[in-house]
Structure 1
Amino acid sequence: MPAPGHQGVPVTAAVVSLYMWTMGILGIGLVLIAGIVMSYLSPPRSWDPWFKRMLRVWFRILFIRIVTEGTEKIRKDRTYVFMSNHVSLFDVPVLAACIPVFVRGVEADRQFKWPVYGFAVKRFGNIPIDRSSVHASISSIRRAVRKLREGTSIVIMPEGHRTLDGRMRPFKKLPFHLVRESGCDLVPVGLSGLFQLKAKQSWLIRPTRIKVKFGNPVPAGEIREMSVEAVSERTRDAIRSLIERP
């Protein structure tokens, strides 16, 4: 799938994108700052429903319509590892707004150094993953497993990087060591429409419809009986089947 180009951008598309960037940065900045303030007043789990609503309001301001499917498969009394394809800058807020249980993200450690965002995700309890060495990676996995065993679901994008052409990249092995060690069910999630919204190599943002589709949870008992490679392949096939092509 070719990415939107940079040449000959229509004036309307440029104006719309400038609006989206301006309102997007201002809006998400306000939401994150509000979340930081709330994190000093009460635990994130207590205000998570409010935070999800604020993210959905932000998307409506940007004329982005989000449709979810399969949320009835997610039990509120269970802890899960959610895995999705990685498409756009908008993936994280989309998942944060749509996953119907309290969830924290596993993100590259460099993102924790970004202004405002990095401080916010630290306060929210997200988990940095350091791929610089095997020892650092194992430490990140253990921290994520502890959080899962404490009853907090985790979301991770096993590709590690955003797609360049709309197709999924190869999966990293680390997330599947995590899910096998955690003893939690794995929920595949397919994100559709995000490449059309904002491709990695284009500055244009196009208001569009986004689909978030949750697959059937893979039981922890089945995962324990499978190799890391088999879990990865099964998850990849499941996510691919959930993605809707334009």
Structure 2
Amino acid sequence: MRWLHSAIGFAFTLAWTAGWITLALLVRVFSGPQARLPLRMAARCWAPGLLAGAGASLQVEGQARIDWSKPHLFVANHQSVIDICALFRAIPVPLRFLLKEEMKKMPFVGWYAAATGMLFIVRDDRRAGPLLRRQAAAMLARGQSLCLFPEGTRSRSGEVAPFKAGALQSAIDAGVEIVPVALHGAGQVLPAGGFRVRPGTIRLGFGTPLPVRVDGRPVPRQALAEQAQAQVLAMLRDWA
């Protein structure tokens, strides 16, 4: 019967996503260039519905550590596509993501991402990096928060890969704090590869924000990457 549950979940996911994105795109036409309302629709409507449809409960910790009046670069470990739902739901401000270029080709999801100002990266293209970092820095400097997965891809084993330092340069350039985010349980609810939903609990924790300047000098991005990963690993160990 598990296959039937997954098939129903997949059909629900497609229908729910198509419906809410269609509505969000219509709202986007009238909401102005910042697209705040369509982004908040993802957090308040689309993401909770998909989490509930998957039978996932979300536990959030550490929100009080964050000054939500300021923009941040959120860096999270990556276990599952449902990570995005958890992050949308847990972060109480309009949030944009850095997505792989292939997402642009996906009906509805790609349209929504482009319309709301998400950023896209062409993997394995060294020339794309500098432009992307400038775009991300400009977004953060405008007061918009951004989330990315510095491992570069989803973990199939649950192990956290080293955080790529280049992805954090945009925060240094914009002068905004980096917030480590730990995700646990998402890979069990919706494992990488295929669509096999398993009800469960997803835990999401916010670490201590990392300043990108100390004594007026920029912190090396490799050091920031290592500090962010260390905080994520520490939270995951506490939950094990």
Is the structural similarity TM-score above 0.5?
Answer: yes
Residue 229 (structure 1) aligned with residue 218 (structure 2): no
Which among 28, 32, 36 is matched to residue 45 of structure 1? 36
Distance change (3 Å), C-alpha of 1:200 and 1:50: closer
Q: Which amino acid aligns with 2:228?
A: T
Which among 116, 133, 137 is matched to residue 145 of structure 1? 137
CA RMSD in angstroms, aligned pairs only: 1.9
**C-alpha displacement at 1:177, in angstroms?**
1.9
| Alignment partners' CA distance in 2, 1:118 and 1:89 | 14
Q: Which amino acid aligns with 1:145?
A: A
Q: Is the 8 A contact 1:159 1:172 kept in 2?
A: yes
**C-alpha displacement at 1:47, in angstroms?**
4.6
Find the counterpart in structure 2 of residue 4 from structure 1: none
**C-alpha displacement at 1:153, in angstroms?**
0.7
Residue 190 (structure 1) aligned with residue 154 (structure 2): no
What does residue range 175-186 of structure 1 map to in structure 2 within 5 Å?
175-186=167-178
**C-alpha displacement at 1:236, in angstroms?**
0.7
Residue 154 (structure 1) aligned with residue 143 (structure 2): no
| Alignment partners' CA distance in 2, 1:204 and 1:49 | 28
Q: Which SS does the other structure have where 2:163 is aligned?
A: coil
Find the counterpart in structure 1 of residue 9 from structure 2: 20
**C-alpha displacement at 1:175, in angstroms?**
0.9
Q: Is the 8 A contact 2:24 2:41 kept in 1?
A: no
Aligned length, in residue pairs: 235
Find the counterpart in structure 1 of residue 198 from structure 2: 206
Residue 104 (structure 1) aligned with residue 134 (structure 2): no
Q: Is the 8 A contact 1:130 1:140 kept in 2?
A: no
Find the counterpart in structure 1 of residue 74 from structure 2: 82
**C-alpha displacement at 1:245, in angstroms?**
4.8
| Alignment partners' CA distance in 2, 1:137 and 1:154 | 16
Distance change (3 Å), C-alpha of 1:224 and 1:213: farther
Residue 241 (structure 1) aligned with residue 234 (structure 2): yes
Q: Which amino acid aligns with 2:129?
A: S
**C-alpha displacement at 1:132, in angstroms?**
4.4
| Alignment partners' CA distance in 2, 1:224 and 1:63 | 46
Find the counterpart in structure 1 of residue 112 from structure 2: 120
Q: Is the 8 A contact 2:80 2:190 kept in 1?
A: yes
- Higher mean displacement: 27-36 or 179-188: 27-36
Distance change (3 Å), C-alpha of 1:145 and 1:225: closer
**C-alpha displacement at 1:228, in angstroms?**
2.0
Q: Which SS does the other structure have where 1:122 is aligned?
A: helix
Distance change (3 Å), C-alpha of 1:46 and 1:17: closer
Distance change (3 Å), C-alpha of 1:152 and 1:116: same
**C-alpha displacement at 1:224, in angstroms?**
4.9
| Alignment partners' CA distance in 2, 1:85 and 1:15 | 30
Residue 61 (structure 1) aligned with residue 50 (structure 2): no
Q: Is the 8 A contact 1:74 1:100 kept in 2?
A: no
Distance change (3 Å), C-alpha of 1:235 and 1:37: same
- Higher mean displacement: 173-182 or 43-52: 43-52
TM-score (norm 1): 0.88
Which among 162, 165, 168 is matched to residue 160 of structure 2? 168
TM-score (norm 2): 0.90
Q: Is the 8 A contact 2:179 2:210 kept in 1?
A: yes
- Higher mean displacement: 53-62 or 229-238: 53-62
Q: Deviations over 1:55-106 (max 9, x none)?
A: 2133223322111111122222111000000110111222122212222111
Structure 2 gap ranges (5+): none
Q: Which SS does the other structure have where 1:134 is aligned?
A: coil
